[in-house]
């Protein structure tokens, strides 16, 4: 059974994922650190797992929980690289699908930017997440969900 696991500490599309999976039979697991604790009551198909506030605790938990049928949503390139050969799909909240063809370039860019910052340089952060970004993600996730639902029937 396909599940969606969300790296939930800074994911701007969690609500969209929950809405789009309602009534599909797809279970959603949101993994967050305790510093992002929420009292929001979620629908039955959603479970929130809380972990320590250690920097990599959410990543470790996602790796532990995931299996070959899962879709994972994360903006963390390092976590994505760990999961590519373990899960069915790894998706960025922009809608970009991480693949073995693009992950090395993404990791190399991240490393180069970190080295540049370490030497005193300044890099531009990610662009603000917009309504268009949200819409694009929802369109792509809807396509993916429709494909998975069709396969299971």
Give the model confidence (pLDDT) of 31-64 as tens digits: 999 999 999 899 999 999 999 999 899 999 999 9
pLDDT of residue 103: 78
Mean pLDDT calculated for residue range 78-85: 93
Which residues, 6+ apart, have CB-to-CB distance to 90 below 8 Å?
71, 72, 73, 74, 80, 83, 84, 97, 98
- Check pLDDT > 90 for residue 123: no
CATH fold, domain 3-152, is Rossmann fold (3.40.50)
């Amino acid at each position: 059974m396909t599940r969606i696991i969300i790296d939930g500490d800074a994911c701007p599309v969690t609500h969209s994922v929950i809405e789009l999976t309602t009534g599909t039979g797809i279970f959603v697991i949101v993994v967050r650190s305790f510093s992002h604790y929420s009292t929001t009551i979620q629908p039955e198909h959603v479970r929130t797992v809380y972990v320590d506030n250690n920097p990599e605790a959410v990543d470790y938990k996602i790796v532990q929980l995931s299996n070959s049928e899962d879709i994972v949503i994360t903006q963390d390139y390092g976590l994505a690289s760990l999961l590519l050969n373990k899960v069915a799909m790894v998706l960025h909240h922009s809608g970009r699908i991480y693949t073995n063809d693009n992950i090395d370039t993404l990791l190399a860019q991240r490393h180069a930017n970190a080295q540049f910052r370490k030497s005193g340089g300044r890099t531009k952060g990610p662009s603000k997440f917009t309504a268009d970004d949200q819409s694009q993600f929802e369109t792509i996730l809807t396509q993916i969900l429709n494909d998975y639902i069709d396969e299971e029937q």
